[in-house]
């Protein structure tokens, strides 16, 4: 059954985050996270981490409230892109091609079943370092910044969804990949409450969690990867020293085993820095791991209780809608 | 051109290592590396690391000299397997199907252009932990051993080859994936001296290096992954304390950035423990990075000179052939 | 004033822990913490960590309930010992010399103002490794065990006290050293609620905390040091995998900055494994840092709320008294 | 005999380094090491690491060649200072009191037996952080910089000496402390070739090595401590990315077990960044560990050969004298 899993998506490519405080949010990502700006337009700032290979992995856009503008997948090939677009079009959730994009070629835009805006593309603009930021090692996209937290690359996106089952089925059926882990109400009913999607060898590039408020299209968090857990611990000190609100962590997730640290950037969006140690899922017919609501009461791996705001804080916040 | 790269291989699955000291080699992998035995036959011992998901990632086989028996790829699906077999058969290097295997289903065996024995299969036996070794976390294949170096999973294989170009072209043409990095004599002639092959998101599962002695079918090293660089540093102490010969390291490779540590197991084979921090290659049309012989003279990333034995010690050793 | 601080104590030497489950407690310290047994008597097991230089740093003694038997200081010299004994004798809290001791020479026993039994000695039995456990490095007391958590040495002791002020004044006045940090009710009244005592360059070897239950002579926790924070994170997995109750952590203390992890050993006593990174206090006239109850409400360094049991769980538990 | 070891010195306080490139050297210590400038005079720049508690731990002074201007000890008390001065005066190596000092009170200056200029003082100027650099944690002297390598504090000084025996006997006899480790020609003759001096609980604050060139008063290296070995590995990347010459490392010293990384700052002086994990020497009558020349041929802890320049590169270089 699973033998012909669709492997047409290469990875989560970038996320557009909305912020009511563009300047402060930009400083957070440059000075604190150590990212760099690659382009600026009237409303947006485009940024990348030092080993992100594309023009940007993050677009910050000025907006009246926090939230997510859109997220983007890069396909594995032009043919793979066409196959995915054909599949999405049949669902009726397609929006259409957007030809003119900063940092990449034509992208096909669509709605998630929850109403989030997404896109998929193959043709891209790869980052070329210059005199000031070329790494001493040819296989690093640009020089290690030695500034702030030094995040290495975009890692994954977590979205709230008012219908986890619908999102999950749409994602696997049309974008492909595997649901590596899932929370269900119980093992009899198997009603999904959260799902983690793998499209390459990282155990997830996208996760969705049930929106307890029943709102649509909300953003939970965006994650950047560091090279080690030690750097996540150092990051905690850097956030502390710079007055950034730490929501929870560092600690190890039971689900996916990610060593996590969650903060709110100045615009109000939740940002995670994380390291997954050496964990990869290389098994091509990996069986989804199910966790029940009951099991989740144990908290995170080493017993940390899941913080209540984790279930309520999503952007935009309800009062902003 | 690169848009339809073949992505039919899931990962390097296991390696059979030959050893003239089966008992001592077994103790090395169990007591020092922290692996466990899953099955024993008259001539072989099958082992796995705590998060390897298959029956075994290592087969130790008693032999009059050190070296490699065979190595194995797992395909992404039954269909992917059939496609690869069809391609290999056309090359004339096919050996044929081996139906009766410990730890996995039917495997198609073939020779590398250098004469190494290889196999590819899809149907496998996944490891099922028992009362004594079930992990507290459902997403870990078995309990963290807390013994010796605690290697997590098989990482990659490095082979010597008397004709790197032939091996490289065979591998990419018939098994698929990407050559992520390569050493060439110079940028005019581009004669390959070494190549690193990626089949998933890890920057390599297989590497080949020119055999300076011109011998065929030799083994350079097999690598197991640890969770952090700190564990590699601890591993160095554990090797030191237990009288295991450390050839070189810990240090960071310029090529692939692997944080490496090389030792000789009691049978004489070179074993590496390594951590790649958060590095992955997610770019589906990644352009091969070329290093010239001249550039390689700089040594490893932080300047450590490549140890001379790295170019001469392969198993079997010439005097054993 | 502070110019002639008394520096007559070398370090916390060992602690005797009472346990109603001697066998299970012993297995915890040997198999999980990686310590080794150096001597066994009818009621006690003596253990040390791999880099503890004395005969033992821990004595486990069978008892009807959990708690602490006694704790011991090693003096800097015979003359320093005599000076301290003379001072203690004047306080009326002296018990007298105990000549016959396992692992060290004559010790002067005394009561803490809270009723804990303590001792001080200089003459000691240094551990001599044998064929099986001699380290490859001459400057390591014994071979790195590569088993469990591999704690390196005893680090510090934390006691509950019904009168923090009295304990503090007794300690500094008669044993010497510096109060490096202290919790006070507020900066006007300066009533001490907790105090941390430094006798060498480690920022504390002993801490005392107000016993909210007003009981006397209770034990809060004993701490062993690991080499890195990464090992504390690995320790958390090892505790998890082996069914050891994790009370709180890993996280960084605001006070003293210790990277902590607290568990209950099978006998019911709280044990900490910790790493202090590169922090030392080398300033000989270091001014005590005061934290108010109000400030402590912020939780630990990165915001983790102090777990309620931290204020109530001490051994023996009230129902056992 | 050893029972009344002199413990009058608190720690190595600061070192004055001479540099022919003051501006570039200053940028190295600020931008790369992450230190900050606390004062500037016509010829000198005074700097400290973020957790150094005094006005400065490093003074950079413009000079025609590289080398060391002087080094300074802080005494444990005013009385301890007077005792040490009295002892030094008797040796005939005293220079006299220097009343007017930046960053500390009156200092007694003296020559080492090798001709290095040294000083000892007690009265000091403790660093007071301001609005911009106050740490969120009261027990950190100033805010974690999140810039470059983020060294925490001065660690130790290594000097070349043309007569190791004379220097050693002068140091222990007049300054106090313990020789924790020493290299000798062989165990019969016991002629000292190098010695490491401990004055607190760190296993050394000063080391001396025989000057193979027989010159007098030369500087070998100055070391700053980082919080973890992971940060030393990151430091190696930062040096690499910024064109700083890495002489050797990261690796673990056999002697003292320091995890080391040596570079040359732009002025030509050797600088080390290091971490000693959790190692401390708390034993007040620690017996010196002797290593023979023969034993040292094994290289560093994990087998790295000692780099030849380690025995020849000292500042000033002979051609500059």
Mean pLDDT of A249-260: 97
A81 by DSSP, 3-state: which? Answer: helix
- Report the gap between the CA of C44 and the closest CA in chain D (Å): 25
- Return d(Cα B135, Cα B141) in angstroms, integer: 7
- Interface predicted TM-score (ipTM): 0.96
DSSP B195-215: EEEESSSSS-SEEEEE-TT--
Compute the mean pLDDT over every residue in chain D, rounded to the nearest whole number: 96
Residues of C in contact with D139 (CB under 8 A): 181, 255-257, 289
Assign C3 a pLDDT band (cuts: 50, 70, 90). Answer: very low
B143 with C240: Cβ contact below 8 A: no
pLDDT tens-digit readout, C221-280: 999 999 999 999 999 999 999 999 999 999 999 999 999 999 999 999 999 999 999 999
Nearest to C211 by CA among C165, C157, C160: C160
Nearest to D46 by CA among D17, D11, D75: D17
B240 with C148: Cβ contact below 8 A: no
Is residue C50 within 8 A of residue D278, CB to CB? The reply is no
Residues 6 or more apart whose CB falls under 8 angstroms from that of C177 comprise: C5, C6, C7, C9, C171, C197, C198, C199, C205
Best probe of the B interface among C31, C133, C237, by most B CBs < 10 A, is: C237
User: Which chain D residue's Cα is nearest to A146?
Assistant: D148
- Report the gap between the CA of D215 and the closest CA in chain C (Å): 31
- Return d(Cα B206, Cα C140) in angstroms, integer: 39
| C138-159 burial: b if 16+ Cβ within 10 Å, else e | ebbbbbbbbbbbbbbbbbbbbb
pLDDT at D83 over 70: yes
For residue D2, the model assigns a pLDDT of: 45
pLDDT tens-digit readout, C56-100: 999 999 999 999 999 999 999 999 999 999 999 999 999 999 999
Assign C114 a pLDDT band (cuts: 50, 70, 90). Answer: very high
Q: How far is CA D75 from CA A320, C310, D120, D121, D126, in A?
A: 62, 39, 7, 6, 14
pLDDT tens-digit readout, C15-68: 999 999 999 999 999 999 999 999 999 999 999 999 999 999 999 999 999 999
pLDDT tens-digit readout, B118-173: 999 999 999 999 999 999 999 999 999 999 999 999 999 999 999 999 999 999 99
pLDDT at D321 over 80: no
Percent of chain A at pLDDT > 70 equals 99
For residue C2, the model assigns a pLDDT of: 44
For residue A1, the model assigns a pLDDT of: 40
Q: Tokens representing B83?
A: 């496609």
Residues of B in contact with A8 (CB under 8 A): none
At residue B316, φ and ψ (nearest 5 deg) are -70, 155
User: Which chain C residue's Cα is nearest to B135?
Assistant: C241
Residues of B in contact with A139 (CB under 8 A): 181, 255-257, 289
Is residue A192 within 8 A of residue A165, CB to CB? The reply is yes
pLDDT tens-digit readout, A73-110: 999 999 999 999 999 999 999 999 999 999 999 999 99
* Size of the B and C interface in Cβ pairs below 8 Å: 44
For residue D253, the model assigns a pLDDT of: 96
- Return d(Cα D90, Cα C208) in angstroms, integer: 45
Residues 6 or more apart whose CB falls under 8 angstroms from that of B102 comprise: B39, B41, B44, B46, B55, B56, B59
Radius of gyration of chain A (CA): 19
Does B230 reach chain C within 8 Å, measured CB to CB?
yes
Nearest to B98 by CA among B83, B112, B85: B85
A147 with D143: Cβ contact below 8 A: no
| D90-125 burial: b if 16+ Cβ within 10 Å, else e | eeeebeeeeeebebbeebbbbbbbbebbbbbbbebe
- What's the pTM? 0.97
User: Which chain A residue's Cα is nearest to B283?
Assistant: A10
Compute the mean pLDDT over every residue in chain B, rounded to the nearest whole number: 96
A233 with C229: Cβ contact below 8 A: yes
- Report the gap between the CA of B302 and the closest CA in chain C (Å): 23
Residues 6 or more apart whose CB falls under 8 angstroms from that of B96 comprise: B108, B109
Does C30 reach chain B within 8 Å, measured CB to CB?
no
Does C237 reach chain B within 8 Å, measured CB to CB?
yes
Radius of gyration of chain D (CA): 19
Give contacts of D 82-121 with C, CB under 8 A: none
For residue D3, the model assigns a pLDDT of: 47
pLDDT tens-digit readout, D30-60: 999 999 999 999 999 999 999 999 999 999 9
- For chain A, the chains sharing at least 3 beta-carbon pairs closer than 8 angstroms are B, C, D
- The DSSP letter of residue A128 is -
Q: Which of B228, B280, B301 sits opposite A277 (nearest CB)?
A: B228
pLDDT at C199 over 50: yes
Does C51 reach chain B within 8 Å, measured CB to CB?
no
Assign D118 a pLDDT band (cuts: 50, 70, 90). Answer: very high
Task: Report the DSSP pairing between strands B153-161 and B206-210.
Answer: parallel
For residue A2, the model assigns a pLDDT of: 45
Does A122 reach chain B within 8 Å, measured CB to CB?
yes
Does A131 reach chain B within 8 Å, measured CB to CB?
no
Assign D192 a pLDDT band (cuts: 50, 70, 90). Answer: very high
Does A233 reach chain C within 8 Å, measured CB to CB?
yes
B137 with A257: Cβ contact below 8 A: yes
Element (H, E) at C24: helix C22-27
B57 by DSSP, 3-state: which? Answer: coil
pLDDT tens-digit readout, D237-260: 999 999 999 999 999 999 999 999
Assign A146 a pLDDT band (cuts: 50, 70, 90). Answer: very high
C190 by DSSP, 3-state: which? Answer: coil
Q: Which of D32, D230, D243 sits opposite A228 (nearest CB)?
A: D230
Cross-sheet strand order for the sheet of C44-48: C36-40, C44-48, C58-62, C9-19, C67-75, C117-121, C107-111, C94-98
Taking residue C133's Cβ as centre, other Cβ atoms within 10 Å add up to 16
B3 with A79: Cβ contact below 8 A: yes
pLDDT tens-digit readout, A151-172: 999 999 999 999 999 999 999 9
Compute the mean pLDDT over every residue in chain A, rounded to the nearest whole number: 96
- For chain D, the chains sharing at least 3 beta-carbon pairs closer than 8 angstroms are A, B, C
Q: How far is CA C191 from the centre of its chain?
A: 24
Does A231 reach chain D within 8 Å, measured CB to CB?
yes
Packing angle between helix B229-241 and helix D229-241, nearest 10 degrees? 120
User: Which chain A residue's Cα is nearest to C253?
Assistant: A237
Radius of gyration of chain B (CA): 19
For residue A172, the model assigns a pLDDT of: 98
Q: Which of A239, A240, A301 sits opposite C240 (nearest CB)?
A: A301
Assign B183 a pLDDT band (cuts: 50, 70, 90). Answer: very high
pLDDT tens-digit readout, B48-75: 999 999 999 999 999 999 999 999 999 9
User: Which chain A residue's Cα is nearest to D33?
Assistant: A146
For residue D219, the model assigns a pLDDT of: 97
Nearest to A38 by CA among A53, A28, A24: A53
Taking residue A162's Cβ as centre, other Cβ atoms within 10 Å add up to 18
pLDDT at B3 over 60: no
For residue B318, the model assigns a pLDDT of: 85
Mean pLDDT of B9-18: 98
Nearest to D167 by CA among D221, D211, D223, D108: D211
Assign C190 a pLDDT band (cuts: 50, 70, 90). Answer: very high
A51 with B279: Cβ contact below 8 A: yes
Does B275 reach chain D within 8 Å, measured CB to CB?
no
For residue D259, the model assigns a pLDDT of: 97
Percent of chain B at pLDDT > 70 equals 99
Is residue D179 within 8 A of residue D197, CB to CB? The reply is yes
Looking at B49-186, which runs of residues are DSSP E strands? 58-62, 67-75, 94-98, 107-111, 117-121, 153-161, 178-184
Start-to-end CA span in chain D (Å): 42
């Amino acid at each position: 059954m699973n033998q012909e899993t669709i492997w047409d998506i290469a990875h989560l490519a970038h996320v557009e985050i909305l912020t009511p405080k563009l300047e402060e949010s930009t400083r957070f990502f440059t000075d604190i996270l150590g990212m760099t700006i690659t382009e600026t337009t009237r409303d947006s700032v485009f940024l990348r981490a030092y080993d992100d290979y594309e023009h940007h992995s993050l677009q910050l856009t000025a907006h009246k409230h926090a939230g997510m503008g859109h997220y983007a997948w890069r396909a594995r090939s032009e043919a793979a892109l066409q196959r995915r677009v054909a599949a999405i079009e049949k669902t009726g959730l397609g929006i259409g091609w957007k030809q003119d994009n900063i940092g990449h070629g034509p992208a096909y835009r669509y709605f998630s079943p929850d109403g989030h805006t997404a896109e998929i593309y193959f043709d891209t603009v790869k980052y070329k370092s210059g005199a000031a930021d070329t790494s001493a090692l040819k296989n690093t996209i640009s020089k290690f910044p030695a500034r702030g937290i030094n995040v290495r690359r975009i890692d994954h996106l977590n979205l709230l969804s008012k219908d986890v089952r619908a999102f999950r089925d749409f994602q696997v059926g049309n974008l492909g990949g595997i649901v590596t882990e899932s929370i269900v109400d119980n093992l009899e009913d198997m009603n999904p409450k959260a799902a983690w999607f793998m499209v390459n060898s990282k155990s997830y590039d996208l996760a969705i969690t049930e929106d307890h408020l029943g709102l649509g299209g909300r953003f939970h968090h965006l994650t950047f990867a560091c090279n080690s857990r030690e750097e996540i611990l150092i990051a905690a000190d850097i956030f502390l020293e710079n007055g950034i609100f730490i929501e929870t962590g560092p600690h190890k997730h039971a689900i996916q085993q990610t060593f996590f640290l969650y903060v709110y950037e100045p615009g109000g969006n939740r940002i995670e820095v994380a390291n997954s140690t050496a964990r990869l899922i290389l098994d091509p017919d990996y069986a989804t791991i199910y966790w029940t609501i009951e099991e989740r009461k144990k908290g995170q791996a080493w017993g940390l209780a899941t913080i209540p705001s984790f279930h309520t804080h999503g952007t935009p916040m309800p009062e902003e809608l």
